Amino acid sequence: MADEIIDLTRYLRREPSQELPRGSMTLWGADGERARFALPLWRVIHLAQGDRGLIVRHPVQRPQAAEAIVALDLGSDPARTTVPVERLPRFGSDEGPSLVDLESDGMVVFLGARAGQLWLLLVDGGGGRTEALTQNVREDVLFLAGECAGLLFLRDFAEDGTKRGGLGRGGSGRDGSFLGDDVDPDA
């Protein structure tokens, strides 16, 4: 993959000569291959009008232990990595792709489940959105969430994330199983 400069003005619908919004953009937990989460996370944050996006590991048996494994924060340096567990909807390990719109509080997308862990994409902050996401925006967000789910499950980041300090290796992850096959709800 060749390194290229990504023209963010295209996503902001601005002319390249116009000044971009000032502020910081902090990427946390995205070393090496995990840096691939940055662009889909940034696009989802922009679409949901938030200021922070997280890929969250949410243990089925210990929901209060939810933690961010990747964070992109447009409003703070260092990145805020605390997961507001009280705002996370309850998802089952057999859930299909789901988007829960929290309007001004952001949104949560269920990405999948593996090894007793639920994986979520959370966008919060911003507070400026007072209406539900439009159908077109929801579709775009779900497409981008699919990119994140592909990174988690096809490159085995989710499996590595179940180990403390994980998410370091990439791999094929193509063993023929479906998302959630190996989740034991009684574990």
Is 46 within a domain? yes
Flag whether 140 is in a domain: yes
Residue 69 lies in a domain: yes
pLDDT at position 61, please?
A: 87
Is 113 inside a domain boundary? Answer: yes
How high does pLDDT run on average in the chain? 77
- Could you tell me which residues come within 8 angstroms of residue 65 by beta carbon, excluding any fewer than 6 positions away? 59
- Enter the tokens of residue 95: 């859930």
Classify residue 63: in a domain, yes or no.
Answer: yes
Q: Residue 75: give the domain boundaries.
A: 19-161
In a domain, 109, yes or no: yes
Domain count, the chain: 1
The enclosing domain of 96 has a CATH number of 3.30.450.40
* Complete DSSP assignment for 63-96: GGG-EEEEEEESS-SSPP----GGGPPP--TT--
- Show the low-confidence residues of the chain (pLDDT under 70): 1-24, 159-187
pLDDT score, position 172: 28
pTM higher than 0.85 for the full model? no
Angle between helices 135-154 and 38-48 (to 10 degrees): 160
Q: What is the pLDDT of residue 110?
A: 94
**181: in domain:** no
- Quote the CA–CA distance of 35 and 20 in Å, as a whole number: 22
Q: What is residue 97's predicted lDDT score, i.e. its pLDDT?
A: 78
pLDDT score, position 9: 57
- Distance between alpha carbon 24 and the CA centroid of its chain, in Å? 19
Nearest-CA neighbor of 172 among 145, 153, 158?
153
